[in-house]
Structure 1
Amino acid sequence: MRIIPFEKAESWGLIQWAQPLIGVLFDASSDIYEYITNQIMDNHVLRLQFKLDRQLTGKRLSDDIDDVSEENINNLIEAAEVYINQPQVQAALQEFLRISH
C-alpha cells in the first residue's frame, strides 16, 4: 500500500484517483484468489509475500509494472533472497513441507 500525501492528492481529479483505486481493486482480487486457492487446496497453501519497501535491504523497491530498470530488478531479487532467508520464513517453509508430505 502506498501512502499518498494530502498535499499531493488535494488537487487530483478523476483521472489521478483512478490509478490508486485500481490498485485497491487488484489487492481485493488477490485476496479473493487466495481464498479460492485455499478452498481448492484444502488450506495446503503457503503464501510468501513481502512489502515492497526499504525494510528488507534499505534499497528502493518499485512495484511499478513498467519499472524494468536493472537497478530495480536487482533490488527486487536481493529483497526476495533476504526475505526467503529470514528465520520465520524458513520455519514456515519447513512446516509447510512437513505437513505437505
Structure 2
Amino acid sequence: LSELLKPCLITSYDIKARRAHFFSQVDAKVKNTHNYPVKEVARATSAAPTYFETALASSEYGIAYPLIDGGVFANNPAMCAYAEARGIVFSEVLNDPLKPDRPHAKEMIMISLGTGSVRKPYHYDKAKDWGMIEWIKPVIDIMMSGNAETVSYQLRKIWETTETPENFIRLEPGLDEANSDMDDASESNLYALNQAGKLFVEGNIGLLDKIVEMLIANK
C-alpha cells in the first residue's frame, strides 16, 4: 500500500471491532501498522457479504483484521475521499511546493464514478402490507442507493458554496437492460452491461471530453 504512486483511501469494515476500517496510502508510508500488501487490500474491500467470504487482512506489523466490503457503510465513498484529501499536506506528500496544503473544495476537482444504478419502484398498494420478510431485500436496496444519493447531494452542496461548482461531477450510468446482481456473469449480462456503458458514453460525450480537458489542465 505504501508503494502506490499517489495518495489514496480504500474502504472496508471490521466485523470484530464493529467499525469502519480505512486503508490509507499516506498513513501506510509512515506507519507499518497501516501498511498492507495491495492484494489483501483489494480482497478486503471487495469481500461483499453473501458473495465472498470475509477477508483476514494482515498488516506489515502483524495484526490481522476480519474485513468485509466497505460498501456496507460507504456505498458511495466520495465523501470519505473528500475528508481524506482535506487532511493531506499535498506539498509534502507529493514533494511539490506548488500543491496546496490541506486543500478546500474550490481547489479540488472531484470525479465521482458510480457503478450503475437501478431504481426499482416499490408501489404503495403492495408495500403497505409488507412484514419483516417482504421488507428485507427492499430495505437493503433502498439503504444502499439512498446512501449513495445522499453523499452526492452533500458534496454537490459543498461545491455550490465555492466559485467552482462545476468541479464536482457525478457519473452514474443507468444499467438499462442489464441485471445488477453481482453474481450474474452470464455472457448475455456481460454484453448488456457493455451496451449500457456504451449508451452512457454516447449520451455524455461532451461531458466526458470536458472531464478529460479538466484533468489534463490540472495534472
The CA deviation string for residues 21-48 of structure 1, in whole angstroms up to 9 with x for no partner, is: 11111112212443566659x7534322
Unaligned runs of 5+ in 2: 1-118
Answering whether residue 178 of structure 2 is matched by residue 61 of structure 1, we say yes
Deviates more, 1:89-98 or 1:70-79: 89-98
Q: State the alpha-carbon separation in 1 of the partners of residues 127 and 199 from structure 2.
A: 34
| Equivalent residues, number | 92
Equivalent residue for 2:193, pick from 71, 76, 81: 76
SS at match of 1:2: coil
1:1-101 equivalences under 5 Å are 1-4=119-122, 12-34=130-152, 44-53=167-176, 60-86=177-203, 89-100=204-215, 101=217
RMSD (Å), alpha carbons: 3.0
The CA deviation string for residues 68-101 of structure 1, in whole angstroms up to 9 with x for no partner, is: 2221111101110121122xx1111122333442
Task: Answer whether contact 2:174 2:196 (CA < 8 A) is retained.
Answer: no
Identity rate, percent: 24
Q: State the alpha-carbon separation in 1 of the partners of residues 202 and 124 from structure 2.
A: 37
Unaligned runs of 5+ in 1: 54-59
Structure (1 or 2) with the greater helix fraction = 1
Task: Answer whether contact 2:174 2:200 (CA < 8 A) is retained.
Answer: no
TM-score, L = length of structure 2: 0.34
Higher RCO (Cα < 8 Å, 6 or more apart): 1
Q: Which is higher, the Rg of structure 1 or of structure 2?
A: 2
